[in-house]
Amino acid sequence: MIDLNEAVDKDTDDASELVSGDDTGQINDEDARLIESDTEFGIKLVNLVKAVNLGEISYHEMVSNFTLADDLKCLYLFLKAAPYSPIAPIYPQEPFFLFKGVKVPGAFDLSESEAVTITTYMESEHPEYFHELRLHDLDQYHIDAYERAIRIYNDMVDKTRSSYHSQVKEARSQIIEISAVIICLSIILVVMVGLF
């Protein structure tokens, strides 16, 4: 899950450039609460989608976490904009021979078909909310939360992808090392057999 304090601090710093302060350039208390609030909502969107991807909750439970129409609209648009299966498997996931597999991180493995299933379910529950819905139909709070959620989600996907690629690189180097040892031992064995 996301460290809420770290994300709020980061987004508060980023948002301070966007929010107009008073004459001294300071953000007033009302603006600070708004920034923290839409950041928290954005984090909630990200964490719930990750929980669905990991199988911790069903998509019905995710949708039922939102009761307000604008919250549901924001979730709907977030699901439509989230990258689908952004981390492609580039190495066997299961162990083979003497080598370990490298699992593709599941937290961001939202497939297009699953996103369509979720949004279709949402449309069937509240068709009036989602008919010709566009981002500009949301209020500013939800637009900000949506943008923060997209940025946080994409940043986390990039970091997770980099971590996955590092694990794959390490596994591949292990294969090369073990293969080199096996080849050397084979050569030594052939030479020893040839001497006798």
Q: Domains of the chain: which residue ranges?
A: 4-195
- Among 192, 161, 141, CA closest to 89: 161
pLDDT at 24: 45
pLDDT tens digit string along 117-157? 999 999 999 999 998 899 999 999 999 999 999 999 999 99
pLDDT at 16: 37
Mean pLDDT of the region 56-70: 93
pLDDT at 172: 85
pTM of this prediction exceeds 0.75:
no
- Among 42, 21, 43, CA closest to 31: 21
User: Within the chain, what is the greatest distance between any pair of CA atoms?
Assistant: 93
Distance CA 149, CA 165 (A): 24
Residues 6+ apart with CB under 8 A from 161: 86, 87
pLDDT at 31: 56
